[in-house]
Amino acid sequence: MLMKILPILLALIGLAGGGAAGYFLRPPPPPPEETAGAHGEDGAAADAGHAAPADTQAAADHGADGHGEDGAEEAPTTEFVKLNNQFVVPVIEEGQVTSLVVLSLSLEVTLGSTEKVYAAEPKIRDLLLQVLFDHANAGGFKGAFTNTATMADLRRTMLEAVRQVLGSAALSVLVSDIVRQDS
């Protein structure tokens, strides 16, 4: 009798444990939206929160410490958006997958552009994957693939791809994690 109940009991414990792990390890919710009162009922001020490139340059002229000329802290003009899933790129040599490169990416965008990024994320991911595949096929992930020049070129190419979708709202692509798993 115990031998018949034991597999069912183990399956239920495994299911409950998996459900609990999924619940506690779920990604954090996106940041809360601003209230409608901040933008007005008609949304006319929705674009007012987007920093123009001139505003970004003006903020950069004040220095990297975020303080203006009088020493008062200024409001940030950019925000960072972490793309939800990692990017997995196969490295192929002589028709065989010899390693996998796994990257976590974030985008630096103008203030108020987070929703635009999440709305266009499938298109952004597709363009970034194509850039990463091209980089891998050109040998960019072989040898010392994390050297400064190689990574700067990859970031520049990824930013150009993201700007096809987001335009000037995209300021930079940040590589927060990168690892190569050799076979």
Encode pLDDT of 110-146 as tens digits.
999 999 999 999 999 999 999 999 999 999 999 889 9
Whether 48 is in a domain gets the answer no
Whether 132 is in a domain gets the answer yes
Q: Which long-range contacts (CB under 8 A, 24 or more apart) does 131-139 make?
A: 131/157, 131/158, 131/161, 132/87, 132/89, 132/101, 132/103, 132/158, 133/89, 135/89, 136/89, 136/90, 136/91, 136/92, 136/101, 137/92
Q: What percent of the chain has pLDDT over 90?
A: 54
Whether 47 is in a domain gets the answer no
Non-local CB neighbours of 132 within 8 Å, separated by 6+ positions: 87, 89, 101, 103, 154, 158
Whether 8 is in a domain gets the answer no
Phi, psi of 45, deg, nearest 5? -90, 10
Whether 159 is in a domain gets the answer yes
> CA-CA distance, 38 to 111, in Å (whole number)?
15
The two tokens of residue 138 are: 């050109």
Give the sign of the dihedral formed by CA 35, CA 39, CA 40, CA 42. negative
| pLDDT level of residue 69 (50, 70, 90 thresholds) | low
Q: What is the pTM of this model?
A: 0.60
Question: How much is the pLDDT for 14?
Answer: 75
Give the sign of the dihedral formed by CA 124, CA 130, CA 133, CA 134. negative
| pLDDT level of residue 59 (50, 70, 90 thresholds) | very low
> What is the residue range of 152's domain?
76-182
Judged by average pLDDT, the poorest of 10-14, 63-67, 134-138, 166-170 is: 63-67
| CATH number (domain holding residue 118) | 3.30.479
Q: Which tops the pLDDT comparison, 157 or 11?
A: 157
Q: Which tops the pLDDT comparison, 41 or 175?
A: 175
| pLDDT level of residue 71 (50, 70, 90 thresholds) | low
Whether 44 is in a domain gets the answer no
Whether 107 is in a domain gets the answer yes
Looking at the predicted structure, is the pLDDT value of residue 44 above 50? Answer: no
| pLDDT level of residue 64 (50, 70, 90 thresholds) | very low
- State how many domains the chain has: 1
What average pLDDT does this structure show over 59-63?
43
Whether 10 is in a domain gets the answer no
